[in-house]
Structure 1
Amino acid sequence: MTAIPVSIVIVSRNRPEALRRCLTGIEQLQYDTFEVVVVADPAGIAVAKAMPFAQALKLTAFDEPNISAARNLGIEQAAGDVVAFIDDDAVPEPQWLKHLLAPAAEPGVAAMTGFVRGRNGISFQYRARQLNAYGEPEDLIVDPEHPSVVAPPPGGAIKTEGTNMAFRRDVLVALGGFDPAFHYFLDETDLNMRLAKAGHATAFAPRAEVHHGFAANALRHANRVPRDLFDIGASWAVFQRKHLPEAERDRQWRRLREAERNRLLSHLVTGGLEPRDIPRLLGRLDDGYNEGHMRDHGLGALKKDAIEAFRPFPAQKRTSVALGSRPWHLRRDRAKAAERVRNGEIVTLISLSPTALYHRVVFDAQDAIWLQQGGIYGKSARDEPLIRLHRRQSRLQMESRRVASQRGLSES
């Protein structure tokens, strides 16, 4: 079957090194027909131009703190039948697009979303979620192995994760894309609600995984402690004006504000914030909420046809391999793994110590390898027993099977 042409849109601002890592991961994608659109500030554009495949990228300069406007610019550049989005502080698994696009053939499916792994590279940050009528996310149970289309709750929608989602381009254009009134936060939530109201279906593709790091930005530190809550307040005000009856808005806002206060207090307890930070941040939340009531919202017309013709990314067909290592041989084995990457392979390097240390996975941008470290007897999935007895070789095989579908490894 012919692959559906896909345009990947990456928005980046003030995080050039994160963008470099994201693009390094995208170079390993195993999908027949895709292009890459980067919408970025000057530092991000400079990083993109320095990549070895720079001529294959569509680059659009944009240096404003408005992710919705930036994404709309990306949509207008996108010439694929489907537009996929990934954050600059994320890295896709090599088989990401293959799995993400698998449900596209299902009748009525206009949107697709996958699972997101967090900082340790193993635990899930997000899996399947839906939105209730108030735009608030709720967990869903779906088949963890195979794609599924789930009906939205009454008045609500299916949640697509902003760092791992895709939409048919014609549907995005028909809906007007993202509303620039959402500078940050709730941007895809608003789109999800409009998709559901228009009768479009959304599919979960659980094997379409990305690794998301929550890199620091102007609104949060790298440890997720907030720096500013203005845009969160503003986005909730805009969302309420668009989707909630006026009689329900004050009650929801009181509940949301209390939840934000409790979140700040939890950071205070763990040392991330000082007492004087609490009133300042809550004041910014209130200022944003008040400003959001006056902010213009609405959707402009996106260009029906892409500004530029489809520009295929020169994806290299690669074999995926998993290699074992030990901590005292890791430096040597990393050098060997890096050489195999340069020779056109996707390499998973699993370094096991004779301990019960928890496992961690990271995509190392310097060597472009997938590095997993931990103990032979330690946890990888965090719901496993604290200690499990394994032989070294059986543990290597178990960990290889765990990521085989996402990374393109043989499952034998």
Structure 2
Amino acid sequence: MGGAGTAPPVSVIVVSRDRPALLHRCLTGIGQLWYPAFEVVVVADTAGCDTVAKMGWADRVLCLPFDTPNISAARNIGIAESGGEIVAFIDDDAVPEPTWLDHLCAPFADPEVAQTGGYVRARNGISLQWGARAVDRQGRARRLEVADEAPFTPRLGDDEAAKTEGTNMAFRRAVIAATGGFDPAFAFYLDETDVNLRLRARKTVIVPRAQVHHGFAPSRLRKANRGVTDLSEVGASAAVFLRKHGSAESLELGRNRLFSNQHRRLIEQMVQGVIEPGDVAPLMAGLSRGFEDGLTRTLTPLSPIPDGPAFRPFPSRMSGQSRVIAGRPWRRRRLAADARASVAAGDVTTLLTLSPTTLAHRATFSPDGYWRQWGGVLGRTDRAGPRFRWTSFAERVRKEEARISDLRGK
């Protein structure tokens, strides 16, 4: 990866509310980034800022108090206090791979690039939650066919923009600041998509190797099982989006599509048992109230965000080493102790425990600061792979080491 002399300074911005434990885990992962020149800006409620202090990171991380449930306004506060040439965003319930910033920010060597976006791993740590997508003026997203893992500029339709995900995206600060940042009319949902449409004439690069793991943690809008608890803000943001980017003729069409899609989603969740049958009608009523609210929200022109303060480089304490510790599940306690010691020494550490079974693999980032992957020696990693593949323990360990080397090696 590039050295500090050639890497543009990057401000990593994390917005957090009601999730102090997850913020702790997210920051632990950010602290293991290989990138040589980044600062960390957290915009959080009192519990979040307390977490930064309890971690002993008050002198390493700028924490800006903000307790209003509006992610766009919070992100703008982060941009205003950022000193980097690039601003990168990640959610508090996500953790970046150590090479995340190296891959995500490399395309900015081209001065024409305005924004980049990476891939998002799902809760099992293996499959993709979101890959490359395009979005149109109705807010409809479609998957893009990708030939390989090289960074690319998508080929899009006339009314489309490249879609970046809010938990894995970066912007040239001068560009996003000149446009006024994020529109606070989007308190939640479609906030980054609005920016994508506003920047559709500027060059966007999708970077498959820039990866984060996203947990879809519970919030005021969803339960731990991902069951919906409130759709009002989804309705409001959808209405604002259609007003800004659609036509008057398409507004009713967009409303009908939104209501149909959300009703289908709720029925699926009811069948899965994550919400009750009696929840569907109240949730749809909330969606309707929110949509009506969005139709009346004042759309105010955005003002440019002024230059930020001086860049505050994050003082990395990493050793520069990446290590894989592998063993059997019955040695888990001893292996976990070794992994914690490795993290304490400053190594990016992966603990791989494999049983003599065909269990599929799962992966996560431990609160103790190491990556943990488990499953069967004979099981599949990728869901698209065969359920059974004959191999030895040593061979499977080598295969998994090779798979993650590009994401965790320096």
Instruction: Tell me which amino acid in the other structure corresponds to 2:195.
Output: L
Q: Deviation per CA, 1:176-200, whole angstroms, max 9, x where unpaired?
A: 100000000000010000000xx20
Separation of aligned partners in 1, 2:262 and 2:335: 46
What is the 5 A alignment of 1:32-51? Answer: 32-51=36-55
Give the Cα–Cα distance (whole angstroms) in 1 for the partners of residues 31 and 304 of structure 2: 29
Q: Does 1:52 align with 2:56?
A: yes
Structure-2 separation of matches of 1:115 and 1:358: 21
C-alpha RMSD over aligned residues = 1.1
Q: Counterpart of 2:296 in 1: which secondary structure?
A: coil
Alignment of 1:201-212 (within 5 A): 201-212=203-214
Aligned to 1:405: 406
Report 1:3-402 matches (<5 A). Answer: 3-196=7-200, 199-306=201-308, 308-317=309-318, 318-366=320-368, 368-402=369-403
Unmatched segments (≥5 aa) in structure 1: none
Aligned equivalents of 1:67, 1:408: Cα separation in 2: 33
Q: 3-state DSSP class of the match of 2:322?
A: strand
Contact kept in structure 1, 2:100 and 2:209, CA below 8 Å: yes
SS of match in other structure, 1:110: strand
Q: Which runs of 5+ in 2 are unaligned?
A: none
Secondary structure at 1:141 match in 2: coil
Question: SS state of the match for residue 403, structure 1?
Answer: helix
2:116, 2:206 within 8 Å by CA — same for their partners in 1?
yes
Under a length normalisation based on structure 1, what TM-score does the superposition of the two structures give?
Answer: 0.96
Matched residues in 2 for 1:23 and 1:403: separation?
A: 21
Distance 1:144 1:52, change over 3 A: farther
Return the alpha-carbon distance in structure 2 between the equivalents of residues 200 and 261 of structure 1.
35
Give 1:52 shift: 2.9
Whether contact under 8 Å (2:242, 2:254) holds in the other structure is no
| Post-superposition offset of 1:107 | 4.9
Matched residues, number = 405
Deviation of the 1:221 alpha carbon:
1.0
1:257-298 deviation line (CA, Å, top 9, x unaligned): 011101101111111111211110000000000000111123
Q: Which moved more, 1:49-58 or 1:109-118?
A: 49-58
What percent identity do the matched residue pairs reach? 47
Q: Distance in 2 between matches of 1:300 and 1:192?
A: 15
Are 1:133 and 1:154, in contact at CA under 8 Å, matched by a contact in 2? no
- Going from structure 1 to structure 2, the CA distance change for 1:321 and 1:400 (only over 3 Å counts) comes to same
Q: Residue 225 of structure 1: CA displacement?
A: 1.1
Give the TM-score normalised by structure 2. 0.97
For residues 145 and 316 of structure 2, the distance between their equivalents in structure 1, rounded to whole angstroms, comes to 34
Measure how far apart 1:323 and its partner are: 1.7
Alignment CA distance shift 1:143-1:5 (3 Å): farther
Displacement of 1:303 in angstroms is 3.1
Tell me the secondary structure at the aligned position of residue 21 of structure 1.
Answer: helix
Paired residue secondary structure (1:147) = coil
Give the whole-Å Cα distance in 2 for the aligned partners of 1:352 and 1:299. Answer: 55
Question: 3-state DSSP class of the match of 1:278?
Answer: helix
Range with bigger deviation, 323-332 or 105-114? 105-114
| Greater alpha carbon shift after TM alignment, 92-101 vs 294-303 | 294-303
Q: Deviations over 1:331-353 (max 9, x none)?
A: 10110111111111111111010
**How far, CA to CA, are the matches of 1:25 and 1:251 in structure 2?**
42
